[in-house]
Amino acid sequence: MKLLVIGCGQCGGRIADEFALLNKKAHVERGVYIVTNAIAVNTDVADLSGLHYIKSGYHHRVLIGANKTGGHGVGKINEMGAEIAKEDSDKVIESIGATKRFAETDAFMVIAGAAGGTGSGAISVITEELKERYPEKPVYNLIALPFRYEETTEERSIYNVGTCLKSAYLVADAIFLVDNQRYVRKHFSIRNNMAKINRQVVKPFYNVLCAGEETHAKYIGSRVLDAGDIIQTLSGWSVIGYGRTRIPRFKLPFEEKLDFRNKSSETHKGTQAMDEALCELSVKCNPTDAKKALYLLTSPPEEMNMDLIKNLSASLKGMATEAIIRSGDYPRGRGAVDITVILSELINSSKVMDYFSKTIEYINRAKKRQGRIDYEHLGIGETFKDIPSLLE
């Protein structure tokens, strides 16, 4: 599957930068392209200047709202970010039009941090514009949720998250949720933490995007997981996870290939990788809430067998009991069994509902301070309408 990636704001731009690096890795290691173009959109010149892998031309690093912000950002006011994105959306469309390999694009991936200003406001506006201009191509969002300290110390961040998530849900075909807090390493520096987190966010997409683009016959699986399978799976709130189990590099000479213990060990490695993938989902969730799911097995061909596929399918179905499951195998890699899992159409994401609830509380407190109606005792269903949409 080939994506055209658009990163909005500082967080979105840096994750898009990692997708650009992932594309280079795919080309060097596997001779395929998985990103037709990577574009960073921002109101801040410094943020655009800090990228490493996205090309530096104005069609790849797009500055918007310079007249309003002077190139210094919107200061966490996502309504301003949305307004600027509406006014300057033609710059993004122009950059997409300049993409040489655009005809090969299977889908768009628009990325942002939910708690910021530019990205939080712009992601839904750009998504809506893409849906109108290119109705034949799915538009997916990848939204990074804030760190715990941001939620507790920056009240405005919660409001930004709520309005961003609601607005994105109204227009995107699917939304990958990523919880930054799950990737934090306490003893790393801020720079190392951010770089590590962005890399971990992008890493699970590598095999899934490469599998359907393979051209070498020996690396094409018996059941190819291609763009069609991914598009049919992705809908609504979605999460992605990745697990890996190492394989011993050398086997002892006296070990029999058909020994029942080796057979059991192969199956166990796959199940272990599946368990890790489910434990490392980008947002903690209950798999039973998923209506759709897929998994991709990536390993050396000699490590794959029907028993392993059967056990992996049973393992995922046992967790995601309500989901329609698609699967594929990808005979690539050395020394490890890799599993990538996507759970989609999550009908009851507690993480999202918690943000909506907190956003409503924030709005109620603001209304109380202004002497307006007290909505404290109304439920989420009744007050969801009170969360502003950035699309209006």
pLDDT digits (tens, 9 = 90+) for 307-351: 899 999 999 999 999 999 999 999 998 889 999 999 999 987 888
| Maximum mean pLDDT: which of 47-51, 70-74, 196-200, 301-305 | 47-51
Distance from C-alpha of 250 to C-alpha of 127, rounded to nearest angstrom: 49
pLDDT of residue 345: 96
Average pLDDT value for the chain = 89
**What is the Cα gyration radius of the chain?**
22
pLDDT of residue 250: 52
pLDDT of residue 363: 85
Q: Which residue has better confidence, 162 or 252? A: 162
**What is the number of helices (H) and of strands (E) in the chain?**
15, 10
Whether pLDDT at 231 is above 60: yes
Nearest partner of 327 among 192, 198, 233, judged by Cα: 233
Domains of the chain listed by start with CATH number: 3-203 (3.40.50.1440), 217-346 (3.30.1330.20)
Total-model pTM: 0.90
Q: Where are any strands of DSSP class E within the chain?
A: 3-8, 35-42, 61-63, 107-113, 139-145, 174-179, 236-246, 290-298, 324-330, 336-346
Q: Which residues of 107-140 are buried (b: 16+ CB within 10 A; e: fewer)?
A: bbbbbbbbbbbbbbbbbbbbbbbbbeebeebbbb
Nearest partner of 263 among 316, 299, 307, judged by Cα: 307
> Among 13-22, 107-116, 191-200, 371-380, which stretch is predicted with the lowest mean pLDDT?
371-380
CA dihedral 41, 170, 382, 355 (to 10 degrees): -40
pLDDT of residue 365: 82
Average pLDDT over residues 66-82: 93
Average pLDDT over residues 212-237: 95
Phi-psi region of 251 (alpha: psi -120 to 50; beta: other; left: phi over 0): beta
pLDDT single digits (tens) 133-159 = 999 999 999 999 998 888 887 778 999
pLDDT of residue 187: 52
Cβ neighbours around 360 below 10 Å, total: 21
pLDDT of residue 380: 46
Whether pLDDT at 260 is above 60: no
